[in-house]
Structure 1
Amino acid sequence: MISYFKRTIRDNKIKEQSELSHGSWISIVNPTDEEIKKLVETHNLDEFNVRGGLDEFELPRIEEEDGINYIYVNIMPPKFERDLNTLLIILTENNIITISKIEPRFFKKLIEGSVKMVTTQKLKSLISILSLINREFETVTRRIVKNVQAERNIVDALDEKHVADLLRYEDVLNTFVTSYHYTNLVYERMMRRFNFFEDDEDLIEDLIIEGKQGADMCRSSLKTISNIRNYTLVLSSSRLNKILKVLTIATIFISIPAAISGLYGMNVALPYQEHPLSFAYIFGFLLLVWLSVFLYFKRSKIL
């Protein structure tokens, strides 16, 4: 689907148009092959780069072909779980073009006018889009960091569900670290490639700082998850050792009377077999053996 939007400095809000005009923002969501070919022919674009905007596994980067800049960035899908989506921003001589497989959530803010975007100012429009992307990443990152801290506070009561959540958070945070790193490289290349106004350069520098802070938060939470995993492994191993110790001691205490009772169950003559107090003697002997074993375990600090 191809949509055209435009807003000039004199306009109060962005307006959707029925056809292309100079200074328009061209929003393309999940285009067909025919729409891609038409777009490539109309704006003299590189088809390979255009189709890259539909690949959700593209890393953030910036390319230039025949004076046209192709900026790939990661975005949050509408229902974020683990994987990110790709948004391609194309800066042509007359227009700014965005291509994605699904419509980003923040497009609604641009279309409704809650975030100002003057489409005739391409570089400022680019910064507006990138700022919204950074804001979404920061929101999700902070939420995950908060969840990881909550899991750390109940580390002694972690169950399988909590462990599965931590593994999912770890996967997401690793993805975010990679995305933050390559996105910051894109910002740095943009500052060298484009002639921003001084205020706009300050905004790009702020985006770089926010990206580094986001990556640092992700790494800190990854370290926390690693510490929780190590603590859980040590705790589980300790609990298992205690259980095995109890079972071993119980086996020893049970095996002693079992051996003696087994001897007296044989059909052969044995000492004190006919004595009226034989049971008392045997039971007393068992108590003495149990007490000796118990004292030995106690002295050896096994118990």
Structure 2
Amino acid sequence: MLRILKSHESGRLVELDLNTLEKGAWINIIDPTPYELKIVGELTNVEPDFLRSALDDEERSHTDVEDDAIMVLTNVPVMRSYESYDTLPLALILTKEYIITVCLEETPVLSEFNERSSRFFRTFKKTRFLFQILYKSATFYLRYLRQISKLSDEVEHMLRDSMRNRDILRLLELQKGLTYFNAALRSDGAVLDKLLRLRTNPQTQPILKMYEEDEDLLEDVIIENKQAREMVEMYSKILARLADTFSSIISNNQNLVMKFLAAMTIILAIPTVISSFFGMNVPVPLATSADAFLVIAGLSVSIAGFMAFVLWRHNMF
């Protein structure tokens, strides 16, 4: 999908097409076809590798600089389901005339920049718009991390009541999402630091024009990214310790069950041994007594009861 938008001075967002492409437009490409990549590359003189960089879902964040373009590849958070979180590469390409975004899927980060919020951004202020997208990505990381925190508390309360496999797998899914977030935020942090250094690079100044407000916004993005990394590390440690704790609880419960079964085996073995002695095909005491069954049963119950008392005193139950 290819969509071209441009802000007017009044803040109104206007949609263009390839035939009416104007300077200062935002070219948003989602899950592009080869034809779309080719035509955009020809119209904007952008390297094809820049446009294809975000099509690899395993691509890590980095920054590339060419003579006429700067490509910032970042990883944005996505929520696959209520408990499943992932990251997705997003390429942000700045040229002297346009800003281009390329992504494999429609993401909530880019969806926030629409007609309803058009008064808060200007597509022709390319550097500021770039930092606004990065800032929005950082805020979504923080939002999803708060959701993960609430979900982990919910799973913890459920595991306190019953050890179900489904709840343990939910815990594993949250840990996996935090692992993705941690790797993405670290690489994004390196990209932000490089952007901060590029402001003094004469080669990039014609494209990456930074004013004081832009530098303040970039510093805000770095602060948000750092906060998100700290939250990821904290929640990762909490979930890891939570998983270790419940693993120990499961092992302890298993030991208690095995101890109980061993005690019951000892108690039930006593009547079995006694009945085996009196059931042998040889002369045995009480063989001619009419009360032999009651005596043997009483003896078995008495000894079994005594053994049960001894095991209870030794905390086997």
> More displaced, 120-129 or 77-86?
77-86
CA contact (8 A) 2:158 2:167 kept: no
**TM-score in terms of structure 2 length:** 0.86
2:227 pairs with 213, 216, 222, which one?
213
Report the counterpart of residue 7 of structure 1 in structure 2.
7
Matches within 5 A, 1:277-296: 277-296=291-310
- Aligned residue runs from structure 1 range 76-225, under 5 A: 76-77=77-78, 79=80, 81-115=84-118, 116-157=120-161, 158-194=163-199, 195-225=209-239
Q: Unpaired segments of 5 or more residues in structure 2? A: 200-208
Distance change (3 Å), C-alpha of 1:177 and 1:274 = same
| Identical aligned residues as a percent | 26
Q: Contact 2:73/2:92 (CA < 8 Å) preserved in 1?
A: yes
CA distance in 1, matches of 2:80, 2:281: 77
Q: 1:15 to 1:78 in 2, by over 3 A?
A: farther
**Distance across 2 between alignment mates of 1:170 and 1:30:** 28
In the TM superposition, what is the alpha-carbon distance from 1:72 to its structure 2 partner?
0.7
1:213-269: CA deviation from partner (whole Å, max 9, x where unpaired): 112222222222222212222222222222222222222122111122122222211
- Asked if the contact 2:271–2:304 (Cα under 8 Å) also holds between the matched residues in 1, the reply is no
| Map 1:35-46 → 2, pairs under 5 A | 35-46=36-47
Aligned amino acid, residue 133 of structure 1: S
4+ residue stretches of structure 1 with deviation over 4 A? 77-80
Structure 1 position 120, deviation (Å): 1.8
Where does residue 72 of structure 1 map in the other structure? Answer: 73
Change (3 A) 1:89 1:266: same
* AA at the equivalent of 1:39: V
User: Is residue 7–residue 13 contact of structure 2 (8 Å, CA) maintained in 1?
Assistant: yes
Q: Secondary structure at the match of 2:86?
A: coil
Cα deviations by residue, 1:189-228 (Å, 9 ceiling, x for unpaired): 1111035222222221121111121122222222222222
Equivalent residues, number: 302
Gapped regions of structure 1 (runs ≥ 5): none
Whole-angstrom distance in 1 between the partners of 2:131 and 2:113: 12
Offset, 1:277: 4.4
1:77–1:102 CA contact under 8 A, matched in 2:
no
Q: Deviation string for 1:120-141 (max 9, x for gaps)?
A: 2111111121122222222111
Q: Are 2:71 and 2:91, in contact at CA under 8 Å, matched by a contact in 1?
A: yes
* Bigger RCO (CA 8 Å, 6+ sep): 2
How far residue 61 of structure 1 moved from its aligned partner, in angstroms, is 1.2
TM score, norm. by length of structure 1: 0.90
* 8 Å CA contact 2:41, 2:47 repeated in 1: yes
How has the CA–CA distance of structure 1 residues 172 and 193 changed in structure 2, closer, same or farther, with 3 Å as cutoff?
A: same
SS class of match (1:167)? helix
Per the TM alignment, residue 44 of structure 1 is displaced from its structure 2 partner at its CA by 2.4
Distance 2:98 2:215 in 1: 21
